[in-house]
Amino acid sequence: MSTDTGARSAENDFKRDTNYIETRITADGRDGYPVEANRYRLVVARACPWANRTVIVRRLLGLEDAISMGMCGPTHDERSWSFDLDPGGVDPVLKIPRLQDAFLARFPDYDRGITVPAIVDVGTGQVVTNDFPQMTLDFSTEWTEFHRDGAPDLYPAALRSEIDEVNDVVFRDVNNGVYRCGFAGSQEAYDKAYDRLFARLDELTDRLAKQRYLVGDSITEADVRLFTTLIRFDAVYHNHFKTNRNKLSEMPVLWNYTRDLFQTPGFGDTIDFPQIKEHYYVVHTDLNPSQIVPKGPDLSDLLGPHGREALGGRAFGDGTPPPPPPASEAVPASNGANYSPQ
């Protein structure tokens, strides 16, 4: 149900549960759920890096008017993410207090994790999918009818094989790698995960020292997926998950890459650091029994000069930046390192 849904293997490695609901919303409706404006609600939590991907892609593509968004709070219990940020603790559109209700409406015997992001069919109140890797790709390729004018191509056909290859290793060693460190059940498992994580970060450093973005000369799906882990690195993973060879802010190439994206409209304006920290330090009682949330670190330097313009590239390719988020979806400035688009 949380960002760490999984178990430990016989070798004490953290194994993520990747058995998601694979139903897709497509232009041709082949799974019974056609692309249709105002039919679906994307349910997210700002704390969750996997949900953060969908928030960013929805913003960049301008799908706010086609797909509404419900926001769970940063913490949850053993049952489900809940809508405790909404008046009365009930989602104003779905009229439910817990995301679990939408899962059980479709699958009464559902016994796997209640995860965000999830897309719910508003009319039936039933979950459609929680398959987050496919979700953002479908936003790019199936929802084109509702993309804003100037929407960037985040999954260009000519680069898909390279994007997929980068996404695969980044997921294995970085996105999920930090969890493999944090939830390792033995010193050996932790050491192995730690070494893989930093070996991959070093490889990404070499790659990004020569080019502004991961694939091609503009932002793609690959950058979105890496960003949501890197932006949480110093605030959470370095301490909470013991990924402490270096802080990200001590790795200049990756830090400047992250600052570049953070200062790009659609990225930094989705980040809520207090919610991110509250989730990890309060929910993971096995790692932090006291549930004390650290006051630091100071992340204001995310707004400092990054110098990445010297590498060329255009953030949105032939497209344009997204407009500011709707007021109802805006992160308070004080929660996002005083974020201000450049």
- Strand-pairing partners, residue 121, are 40, 126
pLDDT greater than 90 at residue 156: yes
3-state secondary structure 205-263: HHHHCCCCCCCCCCCCHHHHHHHHHHCCHHHHHHHHCCCCCCCHHHCHHHHHHHHHHHC
State how far the Cα of 180 lies from the Cα of 8, in Å rounded to an integer: 9
User: Which range has the worst mean pLDDT, 3-7, 91-95, 269-273?
Assistant: 3-7
pLDDT greater than 70 at residue 171: yes
* pTM exceeds 0.75: yes
Q: pLDDT band for position 242 (50/70/90)? A: very high
State how far the Cα of 178 lies from the Cα of 163, in Å rounded to an integer: 21
State how far the Cα of 8 lies from the Cα of 26, in Å rounded to an integer: 35
Catalytic residues: 48, 179
pLDDT greater than 80 at residue 289: yes
pLDDT greater than 60 at residue 341: no
pLDDT of residue 273: 97
pLDDT greater than 60 at residue 37: yes
pLDDT greater than 80 at residue 14: no
Per-residue pLDDT reduced to its tens digit, 120-130? 999 999 999 99
State how far the Cα of 259 lies from the Cα of 301, in Å rounded to an integer: 8
pLDDT greater than 60 at residue 71: yes
